[in-house]
């Protein structure tokens, strides 16, 4: 089947197409269909714009780190946490969000991970969609999207990509793999590594390294995912009535945690109105 459109991939899409190890029984392709194929429908668009509490906390935590380094004096001032809280307008948010984000700010104020580091890029989380990285080889061509929280260089000139986490977020190595493929094109002069850092638990992962041949294999896998997804989108656009065949549902107890349970005819859970 010919591929219409321009295939693309990101870590988010990879996670929607292929479940993380150990989460196979909860994985639902229909969620990918709602997010990627029906995202322009008003009701789907509305659901996509409603950030969950964990998402909101993650975004505020990222912006908090950004503000600490934009106003470095806050890291050494006794009222630094309060000053950043004001910039984040935490007072207007729910008690749960306020408490958790405030604790994250206290953690970072006490243990500022990035102090003394040569930071190349530190994002606030408000930058919007990243520019695509065009990847073209003999057998494939696709766009790669990778938004990286922090990029720095270590004393040995190694490029270090750090992804910030909050709550009980798992460290999915595939996210690091996507970053390392992106770094290959954005910073070809560097040897790159990646890691995760949980701002709530002050816990860091081991450094993730890959060889050039492993990067080649990861890139090829990303190409396959991009092409598969674009073919599914093409099928849906040609025949929207086949939505559930193209993006098959996997109903179960996990439906109660899905953003689309209210509009999904296959959902085992219907939220109260």
52: left (phi over 0), alpha (psi -120 to 50) or beta: beta
In a domain? residue 141: no
**Which of 243-247, 261-265, 267-271 ranks highest by mean pLDDT?**
243-247
Q: What is the pLDDT of residues 99-138, one digit of tens each?
A: 999 999 999 999 999 999 999 999 999 988 899 999 999 9
Q: What is the pLDDT of residues 32-85, one digit of tens each?
A: 999 999 999 999 999 998 888 999 999 999 999 999 999 999 999 999 999 999
In a domain? residue 77: yes
For 69, the domain range is 51-112
In a domain? residue 142: no
In a domain? residue 105: yes
> What DSSP element (H or E) covers 82?
helix 80-88
In a domain? residue 68: yes
- Work out how many domains the chain is built from and give that number: 1
Which of 270, 240, 235, 241 is CA-nearest to residue 256?
270
- Sign of the alpha-carbon dihedral angle for 104, 109, 114, 120: positive
In a domain? residue 65: yes
Q: What is the pLDDT of residues 233-253, one digit of tens each?
A: 999 999 999 999 999 999 999
Which of 14, 4, 2 is CA-nearest to residue 178?
14
In a domain? residue 139: no
In a domain? residue 59: yes
Q: What is the dihedral of CA 10, 176, 189, 222, to 10 degrees?
A: -40
End-to-end Cα spacing for the chain: 43
Instruction: Please check whether residue 162 is in contact with residue 206, taking contact to mean a CB–CB distance below 8 angstroms.
Output: no
pTM of the model: 0.93
**Parallel, antiparallel or unpaired: strands 141-145 and 150-153:** unpaired
Q: Residue 271 — pLDDT band, cuts 50, 70, 90?
A: low
Q: What is the pLDDT of residues 161-212, one digit of tens each?
A: 999 999 987 889 999 999 999 999 999 999 999 999 999 999 999 999 999 9
Only one residue has tokens 């668009």, namely: 45
């Amino acid at each position: 089947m010919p591929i219409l459109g321009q295939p693309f991939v990101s870590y988010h899409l990879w996670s929607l197409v292929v479940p993380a190890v150990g989460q196979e029984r909860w994985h639902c392709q229909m969620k990918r269909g709602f997010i990627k194929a029906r995202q322009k429908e008003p009701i789907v668009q509305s659901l996509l714009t409603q950030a969950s509490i964990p998402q909101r906390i993650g975004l505020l935590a990222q912006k908090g780190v950004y503000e600490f380094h934009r106003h470095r004096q806050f890291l050494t001032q006794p009222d630094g946490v309060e000053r950043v809280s004001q910039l984040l307008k935490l007072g207007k948010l729910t008690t749960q969000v306020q408490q958790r984000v405030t604790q994250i700010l206290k953690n970072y104020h006490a243990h500022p991970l990035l102090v003394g580091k040569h930071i190349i890029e530190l994002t606030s989380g408000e930058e919007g969609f990243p520019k695509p990285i065009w990847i073209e080889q003999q057998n494939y061509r696709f766009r790669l999207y990778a938004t990286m929280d922090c990029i720095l260089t270590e004393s040995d000139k190694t490029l270090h990509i750090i992804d910030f986490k909050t709550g009980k977020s798992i460290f999915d190595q595939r996210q690091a793999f996507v970053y390392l493929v992106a770094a290959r094109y954005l910073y070809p002069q560097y040897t790159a590594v990646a890691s995760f850092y949980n701002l709530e638990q002050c816990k860091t992962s081991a450094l993730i390294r890959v060889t050039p041949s492993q990067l080649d294999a990861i890139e090829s896998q990303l190409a396959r995912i991009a092409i598969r997804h674009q073919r599914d989108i093409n099928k849906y656009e040609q025949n929207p009535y086949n939505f559930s065949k193209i993006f098959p549902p996997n109903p179960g107890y996990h439906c109660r945690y899905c953003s689309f349970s209210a509009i999904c005819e296959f959902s085992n859970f219907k939220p109260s109105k």
